[in-house]
Chains A and B, each alone.
Chain A
Amino acid sequence: MQDRHIINLCQKGEYDLAFNCIVQAYSERLYWHIRRFVCSHEDTDDLLQDVFVKTWSALPSFRGDSQLYTWIYRIATNETLNRLKKLRREYAFSLESVSSVLATRIEEDPYFNGNALQRELHKAIQKLPQKQRLVFNMRYFDEMKYEDIAEITGTSVGALKASYHHAYNKISETLKKTFID
């Protein structure tokens, strides 16, 4: 309903109003979406600014061919993946892998207020391959439809289901080993 209203504003050329509605509706959701990937409040805050600058810049080119929410999530996901790519380049010659850097961030995060199981869950997610991490976060936490994830990531629904299945099993096994065995 809100998306329909925003699209109508865009079609009327009232981009300022449309953008304000997007900020109200999406800033918090996108914050958590990004935060799960970069595991740091500062990086998330920085990335979120970039995402909204891109969203504002590209707003007149949004024609409503796709859903507004998948369009915005695609921008956020691309920005996040680019940031992680940059991080990988920074650690290319380091003995430390990016997944262990992200796991350390979770370990040392002053804003982490979950329990031990949640901490291990989020550390295990960082060890997944990128595509599996993407689909796991969007499906498990945000409970998005596969069709929407497919639109955001540009991957087929079948491939996403397979990736999610692998990711789910890997994480279950890791957590079982730590907390049940």
Chain B
Amino acid sequence: MKNHDKDILKDTPGIKQVPFSVPENYFGELKADLQKIPQHTEHSISTRIKWGRAVAIAASLTLLIAAGRLLMERSAYENIFTEEDFLVYSDDLDIIIDEEYSNLYATTHSMTDEDIIEYLLAIGIETEEVESY
């Protein structure tokens, strides 16, 4: 009965001791071998740096895409009226050519004083005012 109440894991002396052995001088050789690791192994890039790089690449790509989209939208806005649209709209325009004015503009460089006076009178400027010029 007394034995049955015994906590075998707690009350057995030496039960926690390591019951395994290793080959002779194993740990000495192991340490010497392990200390050679830096000679043939490089450090890996830390996860933090990897994440930093990933975030930088993602940010650059996002910026690039956003800039591209902005440019595309802008050029689409500028080209909102295509050449075809322009032709359609220009059909609706009534082009009135006043021959007299047209001749007047066409010959500005060879206008005489008389032509100017005639023009001023034609647009309703009083004779007195014309004479004062």
Contacts and interface: CB of A to CB of B under 8 A. Distances in A.
B47 interface: yes
Contacts of B27: 27-28, 31
B120 to A, nearest CB: 89
Interface stretch (B29-37, B82-90, B125-133): B29-37
Interface stretch (B13-21, B64-72, B98-106, B108-116): B13-21
B3 interface: yes
Given A15-B38, A28-B27, A112-B21, 13 more contacts: A31-B30, A41-B22, A48-B34, A56-B38, A58-B43, A58-B46, A113-B21, A118-B17, A121-B9, A122-B19, A171-B9, A172-B9, A180-B6
17 contacts: A19-B37, A19-B38, A23-B35, A24-B31, A27-B27, A31-B27, A48-B30, A52-B34, A57-B43, A58-B44, A59-B43, A111-B23, A114-B19, A115-B19, A117-B15, A140-B16, A141-B16
Interface of A: 15-16, 19-20, 23-24, 27-28, 31-32, 35, 41, 45, 48-49, 52-53, 56-61, 109, 111-115, 117-119, 121-122, 140-141, 168, 171-172, 175-176, 179-181
Q: Which 4 pairs of residues, A with B, have the shortest CB-CB distance?
A: A114-B19, A61-B46, A118-B19, A57-B44
